[in-house]
Amino acid sequence: VQTYLDCYPCFVRQALEAARLATDDEGTIRQALDGTLAILQEMDLQSTPPEIGAAVHRLVRQVTGDADPYRAIKRTCTKHALALYPALAERVAASDDSFATAARLAIAGNIIDLGIPDAPYDGDALRLDIENVLRAPLTVDDLELLRGEIGAAQRVLYLGDNAGETVFDRLFIEQIAAPVTYVVKATPVLNDAVLEDAQQAGLDRVATLIDGGFDAPGTLLAHASPALREAWQAADVVISKGQGNLEALSQTPGRVFFLLRAKCAVIARHLGLPQGSLILKRSDAWANAS
């Protein structure tokens, strides 16, 4: 997925929010914004949104001197999600189809995304939203393909997305028999999970945690760490969570299952699906289209 002109206002908004989280100093915030405008003026529209996002958030961290502006928010998101964990784990266990319920929860958890305006991340809004998603049909539903391939897999690679969403990933990973390697960001970017965030969610109990080597809000294979390169080669199935990973990997054929909610209008239009769509899609079909 290339970057669309519609992404411009969103990047500026993200830079403003990140800078405000990092500092109250208006001069510093303006410096971060002006730097962001310069990045946008120079950007190649063939770049993917995670590449541009990486540059924008790196600049905000540099200008503000805050290595992780979303740290407190990420903790809150993880805390709220952990509070839901016991009841959701029971629900998965009691389900007629635990695998399907857990997969849906993993998609539902993708609502926790501070890259999106007005995303609910307080406990009550989150709970309500999850209930709605559990009742809604998937817009694209390759669940049975995923079930089959995961059932046969020796190793599964799981590309994480946001802090808090991690807890929902954990519920899903608990339903996967094969060993799972879970990829976090190497450096904080937006509210994406880094190692610490994944550990707080308890993911270290159910998966091997590695960092991907990049600080983009999406998996940039060209910048992958040796650990990610190795795990990518070894995996029979790759589970890719969220918009950022889809944007980065939409051209990647086979083996990759994208689980996400199409939260932004740009990605929904790119996919030809309604905004808000719940998606569980094997990569093949999109490889040529995007």
Residue numbers at the binding site for its own copies (CB under 8 A)? 5-6, 8-10, 12-13, 16, 26, 29-30, 33-34, 37-38, 40-41, 45
Closest CB to its own copies among residues 24, 96: 24
- How far is it, in rounded angstroms, from Cα 115 to Cα 255? 27
Could you tell me the CA-to-CA distances from 172 to 3, 21, 103, 150, 277 in Å, in that order?
Answer: 31, 31, 6, 12, 20
Sign of CA dihedral 110, 116, 121, 126: negative
Residue 184 CA neighbour count, 13 Å, CB half: 26
Q: Give the helix/strand (H/E) hosting 5.
A: none
Closest CB to its own copies among residues 16, 125: 16
Smallest distance, its own copies to C-beta of residue 42, A: 9
Closest CB to its own copies among residues 20, 155: 20
Please list, in sequence order, all residues whose beta carbon lies within 8 angstroms of the beta carbon of residue 213, skipping any fewer than 6 positions away. 186, 223, 224, 225, 226, 227, 228
- How far is it, in rounded angstroms, from Cα 179 to Cα 189? 27
Distance of CA 69 to the CA centre of its chain: 17
Smallest distance, its own copies to C-beta of residue 164, A: 24
Smallest distance, its own copies to C-beta of residue 250, A: 19
Smallest distance, its own copies to C-beta of residue 247, A: 18
Q: In what order do the strands lie in the sheet with 256-261?
A: 140-141, 278-282, 256-261, 237-241, 156-159, 180-184, 208-211
Smallest distance, its own copies to C-beta of residue 280, A: 29
- How far is it, in rounded angstroms, from Cα 19 to Cα 120? 20
Q: Is 41 exposed, middle or buried (0-12, 13-18, 19+ CB in 10 A)?
A: exposed
Smallest distance, its own copies to C-beta of residue 5, A: 5
Instruction: Read off the tokens for 147.
Output: 């079930």
Closest CB to its own copies among residues 49, 212: 49
Please list, in sequence order, all residues whose beta carbon lies within 8 angstroms of the beta carbon of residue 95, skipping any fewer than 6 positions away. 101
Smallest distance, its own copies to C-beta of residue 179, A: 43
Closest CB to its own copies among residues 96, 118: 118
Closest CB to its own copies among residues 10, 220: 10
Closest CB to its own copies among residues 19, 81: 19
